[in-house]
Every structure is written in C-alpha cells, then in structure tokens.
Amino acid sequence: MDIPGLTTDANGQTYCAWRTSAPQYPHYHDHEWGVPVADDVQLYEKICLEGFQAGMAWITILRKREQFRAAFEGFDFRRVAQYGEADIARLMQDVGIVRNRAKIVSTINNARRACELVDETGSLARWLWAFEPGEAERPARVDMAYWTGNPTSPASVRLSKALKKRGWTYVGPTTMYALMQAMGMVNDHLEGCACRPRIEQLRRQFKRP
C-alpha cells in the first residue's frame, strides 16, 4: 500500500519522497537533514541559507551551497560581520550565489547579530537549542497531514520573535521551522522513513550545548 509522502527504493527501503526529487537530495536527506548540530558557524550558515531560500526551492540553494561557502568565507560570522559596501558589490557580481541584495545585506547583518549574541551569551548553539520544543508540543505522528498543515510551530514562532527582537532579519516563523528541521531540533522525517529511527537515536545521544 502506498503511503502519502513516502517512496520505496530498489532495495526495498522506504524514505521521505522528496529524497528522490533531485540528485543532491539522497545524501542531504540521509546524512544532514535532522542530524543535531551544535557548532556555531554551522548554525549561522544554516540560518543564512534558509533565509536565502525564502521564496525559492531549497534545491536551488543546495546546488549553490559550496559557492555560498566560498563567497562568504565558510560562513565565519566574525569575518562576514566586517563586510562593507565593497563586499556587497563583490557578492552582487558572484554568479555562483543568489544575487539578492536584501538577502546579502541580511547575511551581513545577521553575522553582526551573531557576534553580539555569542559575546553576550557565549554560544549561538546554546541560545538556539533553548527553543527546542518539548514533547507536548510535538505531534503524536509525523505524517503528510502534519507536514502540509504545519509550516510553522509554536516553538518556531517564539524563536522568530526572539531573533527579530535582537535585530536578525529573514528569520520568519516558517524559515525558523525549516531551520529547526534541518539542525535536528525536531525530527520531521516521516513515520515509515528508514532514516527516522536513526535520527531519533542521534537526538537521544546528542549532548545539548
């Protein structure tokens, strides 16, 4: 019986159906999406790339990810925070990335906000993980009905408001829910996906910062 949102590969393994929609997706789906992250630079990168995705398909960003990393010096937010108009002009000429001035400016702004947050609290990761939702906020079952009906969550709304209050941009509730999915704050692999149990185990073993 076909289950909405799932697909079965040649080996009989069942996965989230989006895994097969682009050549870049199997590795991303199996080894990155939902794996808990506690590194400040990696988390800043994820916030920025989710912001660049706004209004676009994620595969567009994933295809350009290495070019983004090169353009923004590995998303070292201490370095990006120093960018000025000359850097904006350089980035606007870089065909390897999404040349959207507002999103480029946002990436620089958010680097400065990340510096402030780390200087104040000691860790971007620790600050972000404090917004992890409790079990009571999570669905009893992660299926397509949940996916399609919940592009945000109460926790992503709280995170979005807190970041905006600190001056971050391109951090709306939908973008922040995508971040939470990507960084492993929630496990949104569908019930029946072969990766879901492994991701859940990684989340149990993960030491929160």
Distance of alpha carbon 80 from alpha carbon 60, whole angstroms:
22
Active site residue 200: no
Highest CATH level, class, for 6-205: mainly alpha
What does pLDDT average to over the chain?
Answer: 96
**What pLDDT is stored for residue 65 in this prediction?**
98
Distance of alpha carbon 25 from alpha carbon 33, whole angstroms:
10
pLDDT tens string 14-31: 999 999 999 999 999 999
Residue of 50, 129, 168, 177 marked active site: 50
pLDDT tens string 87-141: 999 999 999 999 999 999 999 999 999 999 999 999 999 999 999 999 999 999 9
Annotate 144-179 with b (16+ C-beta within 10 A) or e (fewer): eebbeeeebbebbbebbebbeeeebbbbbbebbbbb
Active site residue 120: no
pLDDT (average), residues 167-192: 98
How confident is residue 11, by pLDDT bands cut at 50, 70 and 90?
Answer: confident
How confident is residue 2, by pLDDT bands cut at 50, 70 and 90?
Answer: low
**What pLDDT is stored for residue 10 in this prediction?**
85
How confident is residue 52, by pLDDT bands cut at 50, 70 and 90?
Answer: very high
pLDDT (average), residues 161-173: 99
Q: What's the whole-model pTM score? A: 0.95
Residue of 15, 44, 58, 127 marked active site: 58
Residue of 18, 28, 146, 147 marked active site: 28
DSSP three-state, residue 87: helix
Active site residue 28: yes
How confident is residue 1, by pLDDT bands cut at 50, 70 and 90?
Answer: very low
